[in-house]
Amino acid sequence: TDTDTADEAVRATCDDASICKRFATSKGYWKDPYVQYFVRSVGERKAPEINRGYYARVQGMNHLLDAFIRKTECDCQVISLGAGLDTTFWRLKDENLMPRKYFEVDFPTVVARKIHNIKTKPPLSKPLIETHSTDSLLLDGHSLDSDRYCIVGADLRDISNLDEKLKKFQLNPELPTLLVTECVLVYMTPSQSSRLVHWAADTFHTAMFINYEQKERFLKAGWEHADALDMMTVYSVLPQDDVTRIERLEFLDEKELLQQLLQHYSICWAIKDKLKLGKGQLGF
């Protein structure tokens, strides 16, 4: 059907994101020793503007994510919605910033591919086994559940099914919770993404929601506090010594295209703070 074809195109976007991240890391924009296990080859050259755009996106998202995890002293959970082939779990493990549990959700077929890679690549499976205490690690074709890392196949447009599956895997509504959507809500209708954002606000009393998207699609329904920065601004507030370093990697004589590109996107974050973590240090 048309819906199946459209959904298939959406699922394929996880490859695009990881292919671009693989290329940028091969150029030295940032380090990701794990993306190679999800994207086999470095692939075609990408324009420097694209690489810098991904640099700002990844560093900007990491900045907010790490701030939340530090603030809660890792006594929190993270839910990456539409995680695709993202490698953040392994980065957090390497940086000693692992939350109590890291959840990922994506379409069942994307999840099946990710799990297959994890099963067959020891650098991916080892950290998972190391952080698991019992012998009851669940690893079938469609879901993975260990003590610290869980991957669930579900459609984000079906909220009751999503809620049920996450709770089955010990999602704890009482724990400070970080929800992340990186280029995901844009693939849903406004009412579908609004339901998802509302569900998050209704489910957790102390939480932060980080969304990377095109600027226009900003939502704050049900949240106490929300902020957004366009990516041009994010780029200018990232640690400037590192920005200087990456600007030397590839020559860019015309800055205008980069500015236009960055201005089309934004990071938005929303907070609910019953436990009074303090929202001051959670932004930029």
Nearer to ligand SAM, 48 or 84 (CB): 84
Query: Does 81 belong to an annotated binding site?
Result: no
Strands 138-139 and 225-230: unpaired
* Per-residue interface string for the shown chain with ligand SAM, residues 77-106, x marking contact by CB under 6 A: -----xxx-x-------------------x
C-alpha span between 165 and 45 (Å, rounded): 40
Nearer to ligand SAM, 190 or 278 (CB): 190
Interface with ligand SAM by CB under 6 A: which range of 25-33, 47-55, 112-120, 154-162? Answer: 154-162
**Is 155 annotated as belonging to a binding site?**
yes
Is residue 27 involved in binding ligand SAM (CB under 6 A)? no
**Least Å from the CB of residue 115 to ligand SAM:** 14
- Binder among 54, 103, 187, 204 for ligand SAM (CB under 6 A): 187
As to burial, measured by CB atoms within 10 angstroms (0-12 exposed, 13-18 middle, 19+ buried), residue 116 is: exposed
Residue 271 CB, nearest approach to ligand SAM (Å):
21
Residues making up the annotated binding site for S-adenosyl-L-methionine are 57, 82, 155-156, 182
Residues at the contact surface with ligand SAM, assessed by CB under 6 A: 10-11, 13-14, 17-18, 82-84, 86, 106-107, 110, 155-157, 182-184, 187-188
